[in-house]
Structure 1
Amino acid sequence: MALTGKSIEEKIYNFLYGRIKNAFGVSGLMGNLFAESGLVPTNLQNSFEKKLGYTDDTYTTSVDNGDYTNFVHDSAGYGLAQWTYWSRKENLLLFVRSRNQSIGDLESQLEFLYQELSTGYKAVLTKLKAAKSVREASDIVLTQYERPADQSESVKKKRASYGQKYFDKYAKTTGGKSSMGKTITTGFISATINGINVDSSIKCNADNYNSNASRNAAFVAMHYTGNSKDTARANANYFAGAGRNASAHFFVDDTEIRQSVALKDTAWGVGAKSYKHASCRNANCVNIEMCCTAGNYRISDKTKENAAYLCAYICNLLGITAAEVDTYVLRHYDVTGKNCPAQMAGSGNAEWAAFKARVKEILNGGASSGNSGSSSGTNGSFPATPFQVKVLVSDLNIRSNPSMGNNVKGQTGKGVFTITEVNDGWGKLKSGAGWIYLENKEYVTVLGSSSGSSQPAAPAKKSVEEVAKEVLMGDWGNGADRKKRLEAAGYNYAQVQAAVNRLCK
């Protein structure tokens, strides 16, 4: 069946929508394909062009006419999805040849991609068909289908932003509504934040906000109430009345945090006829109002501290890291230009810089007061080195130094690891592979002291044959990244690869 559309991207969208029937799923998938190949079906991985001495076109032609015979085993990413692992490249080659088409044929690659999803990645396809946001679909493709070494929050947001462009451009023809950020289905939170129980007993009048079953939020917008002196309770009471034409999710003062609007609903806090900010709007942000508790239209230090803790709590909910606060935590001033919060408005405002620094500090664990609710807790103290930890997730990043940033070397996989040094919540792997973050209990359990150098850094928990099967399913990545991850997890790379070769015979 011939592809339909005026451009390559439109043809890809129409083909995928015809199979997946979900604009969110299609757009999230396309955003990842764009990140991998720019939606160019003949794309040869850039780093291999010089190494192999080919361009996209000459590589494709040489594979097609048989002059180049190492397509399957050269480890070069190729095509829409940058297929890299030898068995997937072999399957692609056999598939297109069965259709008497070029290896770079767009329609053949799309058919092969869907065949992969329908057979080896059924769970991914099911989730794409049911996705309720571009971000949800994009994360699924990134972490369960493409599986690059860097799956950080910044990468997730970047790929979702690519997908959002396709959604905004094409979804109107196939149904759906625009979305961005993380899907929120939470209503009123039950949490203790900086020692204060969040109170939602006084709710906003339905006349003052938009009700949703769910929505997608990416930003936090900070405000001040602009009164001579007021309280969170007084503001909650005011917006419980009809006809206010405005609202906020939260009001904060020295002693109370009041939630007025459910997080899944759209508060009217940053609406305007024109905007300074490119993408923050009422629909995709959480609005927090700081009360003028100090009098004379000013916010007290205690209110700012409570607001910083609340802001950090919402950041955790939305997946905003400390490194991303400057991008996703905004003032009303940043969104529309309104002088709000007045004492924090304007460029280069030191008070606003201090507020954001406090939010970052709390997100990084520099918080003395315990918050409870959605948090699972942290590992706050560690035994003397060397000691062992159990990694509970398959994709914990290994970094070249003990800090966040663009320094990901690979991922651990699940298993037990020996830590030889601790630096600010980061643990150095005995294997020498790098550093892992130890403080998140959802990712890591501290087991206790190691008995010494005779213990391997990561004792293997599965047989070599079991791991080889996981390799064939794509669970351990490709090339040098796979080798690093296997060795970091305590497996002998040569033994695993030999088992893989046996299984493929």
Structure 2
Amino acid sequence: MNKYEVRKFEQMLTSINLGGWMSADQVLHLVLHFVGAAGQAYGNAKYFREKYREASAQLFLDPNHDVQVVPFNRVAWHVGDGRGKYGITNQNAIGIELCQDTSTGSNVWEWDFHPRTRLEAILVFAYLMKKFNVPLSRVVRHYDASRKSCPGNWMKDDWKKWKLWKKDLELYVTTGKLVDSQRGIVYIDKPGLEDSKPSTPSTPSVKLTNREVAKQVYRGDWGNGQKRKDRLTKAGYNYTAVQVEVAKYKEELKAGTKEPVKLPQSIGVYIFNTKVWVRTEPHEGKASITEEGYMYDKDDTISLEKVFTQDGWVWGQYTSYSKKQRFIKIGADGGKQFATKL
């Protein structure tokens, strides 16, 4: 296998977070997403495979793996929030989620894609363009389907990084040249000739505080035991100091002592510190719980479109990727929080 051929799609197929059948000639669009979380391909695949989430995608890409969660001939729930307003729907689009490199910033909006993930996205999209006869003009962002801020880490400077990637994709499918113009890397200068400057894992461009690293450790980004210690030390962090912050962070989550929710500036991505029911209306009681009995678990994340107070609770509202309006409690008004804004 050529070093720069698309990787094998590892199968972790869901039986619950998917819709009906989708024939090859129904595929009109290929949609690029960012995961908006710290997890990598296997973690995200497991998240969408095992529990009902009202969301999914066909593929998840990270620096080392391409994992398939929904078959290409089945509908994934990834752009239903647009309700077809811009012509891109779950029924005519394949969704590809790119995992993020948490060493490149302090939150999901700053975490860029690892160079190898960005490269793999070019290879995968080129492969699917050919497989489903999708032109470059219909390789789009989630933003194009619903105006959601996705991929949110590429929004800065009028979507500069997205535009560079799209040009690199065009160059590859038209000439066979494979480059990363964002970083000035040339992988293949001419078809059949691999350049001697391939990407290597990046080191953190922004040195995070021990507190910020502790949150990553808590999520599992740095592994466990000796492996965690070795990785942190190699990256230039004081292992003991980070572990102290991890312990503090755990206690804060347990006690619910996070900063109070500030309204109305609180729309965005939240991480839960406990299990919370998803509801069809912003009301307490069993009647408002979704028919499927769907819950967000501890450490799950969600992107909220609206945050408001009602009946003593702080509620978050969002449109599920299966096109349904959903509500979820993120805390008591002036009291304990169930989720914290990232």
Greater relative contact order structure (CA < 8 Å, 6+ sep): 2
TM class, shorter-length: 0.3 to 0.5
Q: Per residue, is there more strand in 1 or in 2?
A: 2
Scaled by the length of structure 1, what TM-score is found? 0.32
Q: Per residue, is there more helix in 1 or in 2?
A: 1
Scaled by the length of structure 2, what TM-score is found? 0.47
Instruction: Please identify the structure whose Cα radius of gyration is greater.
Output: 1
